[in-house]
Structure 1
């Protein structure tokens, strides 16, 4: 029996993966998020968000941002979740960033997806697992048809993930729509559709994560052997 898609997003949500857990933002996350949002390395391709000229984000600004995100989740117009990476040895969770949908249209079944990931977690498979969890929720739970992504030409990491890992092509380039560090920057637009997910993307991401998990286990065993 097929499950009917949700028509509303729950006010509190947790999505569990193997190494990543996504949770609705809480006040205890504010200090770490302030650090990330103000960090120019982490926000390399989102410099317009860093509040650099004001000395970075204040805790009050981060709290207000969190409250807006929670409000969006409560009225099903957005879904931003914090990324927690699970330590394979201790089981402890470390806040690593945020991902989800900055806007959701439940009438036309589409959403805009993005990610902020602390630079310490780049190239470690965290983004792939986080995107897998939100895309699975989008297409299998909410029944969305289209999930869009917006990035810049210089963001080779994001573009590379979309083109090489997700296997999608750029839909279009909107000229000079972002102003970053006093310069006009183009937006490169992509989209993943429910048919992409069903016809192979879900399986491809699962295989990619399984391969990486196997490599991490082997590496951990080797380190344990050396330490012993």
Structure 2
């Protein structure tokens, strides 16, 4: 798996990452959603450098101009519900992309430390020979992303797979490296220290879905 760590160089990305983490700023859910969307936009721009382009001719008011446009057919797929904000950022830049939505969540049995990943609802465009961009704000254990990956590939096989996450734990990255093809790309805005005993990212930011859309039952 090819890893692209976007925080290795300074940019405005760090500003938005700081705001989605800070407790006081998190009290403004609208700002949290917008900052996560901005992070998606920055990640989409960086990812766009790895896409294929084709030469086209366009007509300006004064003359013809030779330029390029994206050649690839893209499908942006997010994991409900937390992934919606990051999804919007990618869609702002890849506005002609098709879309997909999948629900995946931790199902705890008797204690907080052990859980299964349940993948239920999905509404996804045909992925055959297209570029799949799978987005989710948090990469903790990696089990949710892997479960969704296998579910999506049951129906069709994309040409290439890009996974985009805002914040990742080293354990989750290592897990995906073990289970995903070497050709996969992982785009990470920030890599944090570790997972705690309950498999949450530290320092992390809390529950991205709750911060964006309110606490769930």
TM-score between both structures, scaled by the size of structure 2: 0.30
In proportion to residue count, which structure has more strand? Answer: 2
Higher relative contact order (CA 8 A, sep 6+): 2
In proportion to residue count, which structure has more helix? Answer: 1
